Amino acid sequence: MKEIPDESIQLVVTSPPYPMIEMWDELFASRSTDVAQALDKGDRLAAYEAMHQGLDKVWKEVYRVLAPGCFACINIGDATRTINGHFMLYPNHARILSAMIKLGFTALPEIVWRKQSNAPNKFMGSGMLPAGAYVTQEHEYILILRKGDKREFHTDESKKQRHASAFFWEERNIFFSDVWFDLLGTRQGLEDKDVRMRSAAYPFELPYRLINMYSLKGDTVLDPFFGVGTTMLAAMAAGRNSIGYELSEGFGPTIESRTNDIISVSNERISARLENHMMFVKDKLAGGKEFKHTNDHYLFPVITNQERGLLINEPETIAKEGTNTFEVTYSVAAPQGVIDAWTRVCSETPPPAQETQDQKKSRKLKEKKAPKQKEKNRPHAEQLELFQD
């Protein structure tokens, strides 16, 4: 990635080929004689290490191009495989994590992406007989790594951009959970099943969340394993620049065709975020919740002062500019339709019911007897249910 200057990237979101998954054997072997020879000999550990040594070169470049304080998010799954009659788990996430730490990255708590299967025969091994069955492999990891110390924002402009890039309080409770049970907000128009089989592309929502969590509008996001361009599409939706590298030229037409839908897909996702927040506020108001802050752009209530400057710019146009380059334009203000929608929500929201004296005494007694629990440790089922709706 020599075209990219040192420390010029603010976020990396990627998913490499998974070592020891058979569909990628040919790719790894074509780029390393050590991999090819180890696979031919059935030397499973040598093949596993040789594959990762190929990925190590990419991680070294990722460290070089990332700016200080910025993040690399790597989606990776472990592999299970039988070679010469020997069944084994190949812990890809641990091997990559070790390589990144050696490069100088700071490892932060990772996300477990739970990809549950409903198949009745999903278990592996000897069924109901002990000492011969294996735990199902139904999750992948999203490694979160930072280069150096925390990113700093010294100028008024960078601070303003940071607040404009904020996410909603109730979104934070979902985004920053350590287990993602499902990834919502993906429209099937961007998820061609045949393409996913060839590229193992992750769903649109995965990079979209990560980009909103770890970068600012106007930042540049890099995907060194571009595939069919899902990271680029999510960056477009989130108002970020993006760069991607892909060895397979065969993905080119698919990448370009997928951009045809990104405007509508992005704005559907943005509309859902805004509608979810308005319904969240409506429910809280109906329950007697008082909000101390109002968003400066949409004029609806928000939980924290940090959400006051939040503005989600909607993509308006996309055009191809030269070879493999696209340019997107964005709205610069909150749509009047959203402001009008919030006005309608306000008019439809009934005032909270007034408590009688007996009800008030009963509530206070229950609160006194109930065990106290810190806000940050409370379960977020209510917010998660709202998000799913």
* CATH number of the domain where residue 114 is located: 3.40.50.150
Whether 5 maps to a domain, the answer reads no
User: Which pLDDT belongs to residue 386?
Assistant: 32
Summary mean pLDDT of the chain: 87
Dump strand ranges (E) for the chain. Answer: 9-14, 66-76, 79-83, 86-90, 105-114, 124-125, 133-134, 139-147, 179-180, 220-223, 241-244, 293-294, 301-302, 315-320, 326-330
Q: Give domain status of residue 14, yes or no.
A: yes
Residues with Cβ within 8 Å of 277's Cβ and at least 6 positions away in sequence, in order, are 168, 170, 171, 300, 302
117 pLDDT tier (thresholds 50, 70, 90): low
Tokens 């209510």 belong to 382
**Cα dihedral 356, 359, 364, 369 in deg (nearest 10):** 170
Q: Tell me whether residue 298 is in a domain.
A: yes
Residue 134, domain member (yes or no): yes
- Whether the predicted pLDDT of 292 surpasses 70: yes
Total structural domains within the chain: 2
The domain boundary residue, chosen from 124, 145, 166: 145
Instruction: List, for residues 174-219, the tens digit of each pLDDT value.
Output: 999 999 987 753 443 444 555 544 556 789 999 999 999 999 999 9
The pTM score is 0.86
pLDDT in tens, 378-388: 333 333 333 33
What span, in angstroms and rounded, lies between the C-alpha atoms of 258 and 229? Answer: 8
The Cα 231–Cα 204 span in angstroms is 7
Please give the residue range of the domain that contains residue 288.
Answer: 269-318+330-368
Residue 375 has pLDDT above 90, yes or no: no
Residue 211 included in any domain: no
Residue 205: alpha-carbon gap to chain centroid: 6
- The answer to whether position 201 is within a domain reads no
Taking the CA of residue 117 as centre, how many other CA atoms within 13 Å lie in the half-sphere pointing to its CB?
Answer: 12
pLDDT greater at residue 65 or residue 260:
65
Residue 57 lies in a domain: yes
Q: Is residue 83 part of a domain?
A: yes
Domain end residue (candidates: 87, 110, 145): 145
Mark which of 98, 120, 145 sits at the end of a domain. Answer: 145
